[in-house]
Amino acid sequence: MKFEGKLFVMAMVFYLVVAVIYGFWSRDESGIVLLLFTGAMALIVAFFTLHVSRKVYPRPEDNEDALPEDANPDYGFFPPHSWMPLPLAGSMAIIVLGLVFAVWLVVLGVVLLLFSLVGWVFEYYRGDHAH
């Protein structure tokens, strides 16, 4: 994980240097701010990867002699299928239509959005899947 972290640290340093050069030349505040934010974006990923690299064991990816079967087959829990994204997207569509045409549609959309969010978040916490 350390290598990924270093890559993003390098990206961050690059954006910061560019922000300074750009700032000296253009004196354009919004451009400087955007470049600084891009540096911060790289910082988020760098911080996370460096932080995690101290917690996880060396991965097969970090070992030049690794074999394909060394990779941990356990990627995590992925639900086989879910209908919930469909109502979620539908309620977002209603909200956006409501912003254009009528405010009451937004209210309806938000209510539907909350219902579909609850459905999605608790899908594997109910019925047969309760744990």
Partner 1 sequence: MASVTAQETRPRLPVNRPNTVAVGTIVWLASELMFFAALFAMYFTMRSIDVEGFHEHAQILDVPFAALICVILVLSSVTCQLGVFAAERGDRKKLEMWFIITFIMGAIFIGGQVKEYMALVEEGLTLSSSSYGSVFFLTTGFHGLHVTGGLIAFLFVLGRLYVSKRFTHEQATTAIVVSYYWHFVDVVWIALFTTIYILQ
Binding positions for partner 1, rule: CB under 8 A: 1, 28-31, 33-34, 37-38, 40-41, 44-45, 48-49, 52, 56-60, 63, 65-66, 70-72, 75-77, 114, 117-118, 121-122, 125-126, 130-131
Alpha-helical regions (H) of the chain: 2-26, 29-53, 85-100, 103-121
Q: Which is nearer to partner 1, 58 or 85 (CB)?
A: 58
| Angle, alpha carbons 44-50-55 (nearest 5°) | 125
Query: At its nearest, how many Å lie between partner 1 and the CB of residue 104?
Result: 20
Distance CA 103, CA 38 (A): 36
Query: At its nearest, how many Å lie between partner 1 and the CB of residue 118?
Result: 8
Query: At its nearest, how many Å lie between partner 1 and the CB of residue 106?
Result: 13
Q: Which is nearer to partner 1, 57 or 104 (CB)?
A: 57
Contact 71, 85 (CB under 8 A): no
Q: Which is nearer to partner 1, 93 or 121 (CB)?
A: 121
Contact 87, 119 (CB under 8 A): yes
- Give the chain's largest Cα–Cα span: 63
